[in-house]
Structure 1
């Protein structure tokens, strides 16, 4: 179970890091031109950048506390925050044509985060 939880947290961290760097550093017009990123054209640039930074912090929060042994409870707390972020992402994607595919992907990420949260809060805490 511990290995499965580490893999799940690693997958989420990779997703969060990729999305975070993309939202933090790519030009918003380039993000808006990409399929699935249309919402960034309608959102304030500050919001897009803030979400990017939050995703980078989520990637850190899913891995670093467990690796260092410093406040490892932050791993499941971060997973719960990721669940909230994915709910918002699903709502946002569903507002755009073709967004249902991305909403399903967000639902998968939400399920993985729920697995990490439940596992680290209950089944296999650090």
Structure 2
């Protein structure tokens, strides 16, 4: 499989994860927290903060896919990937502060995937080049 195809697959996977994660905008915090240790973090944030995080996730999902598909400002794909990496860096830091070392693994995997997309689209496989 080509690097370009892998970059598309990873960008689509990240966009999907980000869209699924926006459920925090629609599901009450108490219900998410009741799921277990991995969901308790939502209680550290106000409903407004969770809506803002969810909005950023929707924008990030769009930014990973739409600029490339529409061929409008395709440079926004790797820029968005850097922003997604920062988002997951923040998530990992929050998990460490909460002592949730077991649940940090997914955040680190998504962080790595975002870095991969940024590297690939800034470097060897830029879009619209």
TM-score between the two structures when normalised by the length of structure 2: 0.91
Unaligned segments of structure 2, at least 5 residues: none
d(CA) in 1 for partners of 2:53 and 2:62? 14
Root-mean-square deviation (Å): 1.1
Partner of 1:88: 90
- Deviation at residue 10 of structure 1 after TM alignment: 0.6
Give the superposition deviation at 1:91.
1.2
**Paired residue for 2:77?**
75
Number of the residue aligned with 2:54 = 52
| Number of residue pairs matched by the alignment | 124
* TM value normalised by structure 1: 0.93
Please, which runs of 5 or more residues in structure 1 have no aligned partner?
Answer: none
Q: Which residue of 2 aligns with 1:9?
A: 11
Report the counterpart of residue 103 of structure 2 in structure 1: 102
Point out 4+ residue stretches in structure 1 off by more than 6 angstroms.
Answer: none
How far apart, CA to CA, are the structure 2 residues paired with 1:17 and 1:55?
Answer: 7
